[in-house]
Amino acid sequence: MATWLIKTEPDCYHWDDMKRDKRTAWTDVTNAAAQKHMRSIKKGDITYFYHTGDEKAIVGICEVVKGAYPDPDHPGLTANGDPKRVLFDIKPLKEPKNLVTLKDVKNSGLLDDFLLVRQSRLSVVPVDPKHDKVLKKMMGM
């Protein structure tokens, strides 16, 4: 089981929307590097739901209920034969006891090589097990 961080603009899709919907397909990711990460997402993986914009914080935790599958609205294959765009489906699991902000991540001194810090523009990034352990502690889990 892998852990991922997925980002959303709260005015486009908020954690409250996720809780209300109970399940959603993660769509509209166009960046090639983020799509590459998405192709590795499997059923049972965990995602940290991160609000961008003014909040910049992990606000929820989700489970992947359907691993990566081709985006029916964007058919076609890459040069490697992979679907050009993929989606995955998630459901909300819980909220962290403590929100973990980007400032908290940067000030921790333990997450300097976390992709959220190093490649801050990507909307889907893997969470290394060592970073996952630190984040869980920061979230009070």
Which residue ranges form the domains of the chain, and what is each CATH number? 3-139 (3.10.590.10)
Contact criterion met (CB below 8 Å) for 55 and 10: yes
CB neighbour list of residue 115: distance below 8 Å, 6 or more residues apart: 5, 122, 125, 126
The pTM (predicted TM-score) of the whole model is 0.94
Q: What does 57-108 look like in DSSP terms, one character per residue? A: EEEEEEEEEEEEEE-TTS--B-TTSSBSSEEEEEEEEE--SS-EEHHHHHHS
Name residues of the chain where pLDDT drops below 70.
Answer: none
Letter string b/e over residues 70-90, b meaning 16 or more CB atoms within 10 A of that residue's CB: ebeeeeeeeeeeebebbbbbb
Letter string b/e over residues 104-124, b meaning 16 or more CB atoms within 10 A of that residue's CB: bbeebeebeebbbeeeeebbb
Half-sphere exposure of 112 (CA within 13 A, CB side): 2
pLDDT at 57: 98
The encoded tokens of residue 28 equal 């509209």
Look at residue 128 and give its three-state secondary structure.
coil
| Length of the chain (residues) | 141
pLDDT at 119: 83
